[in-house]
Chain A
Amino acid sequence: MLILKKNDLNLTGVLQKGLETFKVELKKIVPQLIAIFIALLVGSMVLLATGFSPIEAYGALLLGAFGDIYGIGQTLTQATPIIFTSLAFLFAFKAGLFNIGAEGQFLVGALAAAIVGIFFNGLPNIVHISLALLAGAFFGGLYAFIPAILKTKLGAHEVITTMMLTYVAIYLTGYLVTDIFKAPGWVSQTPLISPTAELPRILPPTQLSASIFLGIILVFLTYYTLQKTVLGYEIRAIGLNPLAAENGGINVKKGLILALVISGALAGIGGAGEILGVHKRFIDGFSPGYGWDGLAVALIGGLNPFGAFLAALLIGILRSGGMTMNRVTGVPIDIVTILQALVILFVAAPVFIKYLIRRGKKI
């Protein structure tokens, strides 16, 4: 009896502690949840104003995203590239850097992986895939090294340089696949990668590939690196206060360069995963802006790797369900983009959300 009681006590203690941590963690994402809620509300108004039923539209959206295996596969496929790009944005942001050029690093990494996938034949699967992914990481990181050097050595602001380099990457990769690496035919695309470089599809007949596992691993790895390693500590210190970090003996320039390069590498692996898992070749304009989504998703996720993962799933749900919603109810698919933008705008203004919470408490 005594032992049982003791166990009971322990159990409730553990439960209480767990509940407390859960509460603390939950509190952190309250502004995000409110932002999503308000965005859905404003979205309903847009739907109502244009003659659609929000209940039907959102219902069809949810059904499309979760209704069957195909929907679930589509949801996860849509979320996968954004997991990487949101980690990329988040990692640089922790050092106080605004890497809005993840799209460019994503594309450069994707093309590098495609080239390795095409030209290195006769390798065992594991070796070929790893090599292509590494190429994606390396060239994505290298492409982010340019703005890193421009920032630390010459003082050029990374917002502008990464943005400009994104367009350079769009045009350069476009040129390379319409010229040097072009497959025969009318489409601007590379030839197919060798089968040995293909990431396995894990939920046929959907396009979902093992790339999502890589994304999940990187979520944990990013969290671990930022929270539990010296490098992560230094990066966060630089992000909080570069002057204090410098005084505390941290090499700020080195930290900034590393943060941006790792950020670019994360985006680059994402691009590689998309090529090796989904498209099997680099097609000009294949990315509908996954890099730009990364910024949004990282912010919706509260700049926390796990939050970013959940936010990427949310965008995946919206995109995959949006297609079904469009088919069933005739609501233009672009409502999904509007919702995404609204969440960003509400998340952008935390003071607005706090103001709403205060107002809500008074009532």
Chain B
Amino acid sequence: MTEIFDLITVGLFASAIRMATPIAFAALGGIFSERAGIINIGLEGMMLTCAFGAVATTHFLGNPWLGVFAALLIGGLLGLLHGLITIKFVGNQIVSGTGINILALGLTAYMSQIIWGSRGASDAVQGIDPISIPILKDIPIIGDIIGVHSPLVYILIIAVVISYIILFKTPFGLRIRAVGEHPAAADTAGVNVFKTKYYCLIISGMLAGLGGAFLSLGHLNLFAWGMTGGRGFIALAAMIFGGWMPLGAFGASLLFGFSDALQMRLQTLGILPPQIILTIPYILTIVVLAGVIGRVTPPSDYKPYKRE
């Protein structure tokens, strides 16, 4: 048993935060999309494309922050694409999202082969260095856990707070939720339903993009084939587990990030099979969806809106 307790270190918690960051970014993206009434299972692909775009831009321009900017741009464009298909052309949301996921996998591997001559991994590029927060980093234990991280981790925390404020404390947020819950009523009240959905999808893609940029530039400093590895789907799980609330989703992401970090350390010990721990986020989500422990209700019926 002592071996297990030895695993619970400050390092484990710090690593859990790193694991949680891309999931939480994408989960926030999922919230904006679903609050406006559109399912976005393309988060995985959006993240992957942006992880690639961030590395490619850094490779050519030499500045990782330009890479982050590129990720925001690409994410926004993919969000817009999902919007065009599902809003303008009334396409099925699941199909469009799946298409984006497959497109991302193909396009990034194709371009990786063209640029670096390998579809498996890119060359290493300059990443974004971690920063330490003065005062915070000097607090014992807490400082070691949250004091030194990639700037994107702190941007995430700001994004969580801002997302909450936007969604629940501003007129724009009220409009978003109205569009998701009752588009006809929102339309009658003078809200531009379609425009609001487009905005939300663009925000959704940009947030997923930040998650992707963190994966490639804040973690490994390169792009690898399929490097999101299902994190976009875990993000959907975190979003549901967190009840479509920014703080809830952030908490769920931390939990899933922790189980991921723990899983990697347990692998070295061979006590519990890592695959079993990896199933935890998915099983928890099913349990919550089924209402076994506290029921969650989606914020929308996700039907495409048609003006009468």
Contact = CB atoms under 8 A, between A and B. Distances in A.
B109 interface: yes
Given A332-B114, A348-B99, A352-B89, A167 B233 contact: yes
A349 B278 CA distance: 35
B85 A164 contact: no
Contacts of B230: 167
Interface in A263-307: 292, 295-296, 299
A340 B109 CA distance: 14
B28 interface: no
Contact of B283 (A100, A168, A174, A334): A168
Given A344-B95, A345-B96, A150 B286 contact: yes
Interface in B72-114: 81, 84-85, 88-92, 94-96, 98-100, 102-107, 109-111, 113-114
Contacts of B81: 345
Contact of A172 (B109, B275, B290): B275
A344 B99 contact: yes
Contacts of B88: 351
A114 interface: no
B279 A168 contact: yes
A59 interface: no
Contact of A348 (B92, B106, B286): B92
Contacts of A150: 286, 289-290
A8 interface: no
Contacts of A348: 85, 91-92, 95-96, 99
Contacts of B298: 157
A165 B282 contact: yes
Contact of A335 (B98, B106, B236): B106
Contacts of B106: 334-341
A53 interface: no
Contacts of A295: 95, 98
A175 B263 CA distance: 13
Contact of B96 (A163, A175, A349): A349
A260 to B, nearest CB: 15
Nearest to B118: A332
Contacts of A334: 105-107, 109-110, 113, 119
B130 interface: no
Contacts of B96: 345, 348-349
Given A50-B114, A337-B109, A352-B89, A100 B94 contact: yes
B119 A296 contact: no
A163 B236 CA distance: 10
B286 A175 contact: no
A333 B109 CA distance: 9
B41 A163 contact: yes
Contact of B285 (A160, A175, A178, A352): A160
B276 A337 contact: no
Contact of A164 (B237, B291, B292): B237
A286 to B, nearest CB: 16
Interface string A311-347: 0000000000000000000001111111111101101
B39 interface: yes
A260 B33 CA distance: 28
Interface of B: 39, 41, 81, 84-85, 88-92, 94-96, 98-100, 102-107, 109-111, 113-114, 119, 230, 233, 236-237, 240, 273, 275-276, 278-279, 282-283, 285-286, 289-292, 298
Given A50-B111, A167-B279, A341-B106, 13 more contacts: A150-B286, A157-B298, A164-B237, A292-B98, A337-B109, A344-B95, A345-B99, A348-B85, A348-B92, A348-B96, A349-B96, A350-B89, A351-B91
13 contacts: A100-B41, A100-B94, A100-B98, A154-B290, A156-B290, A157-B289, A161-B289, A164-B286, A334-B119, A342-B99, A344-B99, A350-B91, A351-B90
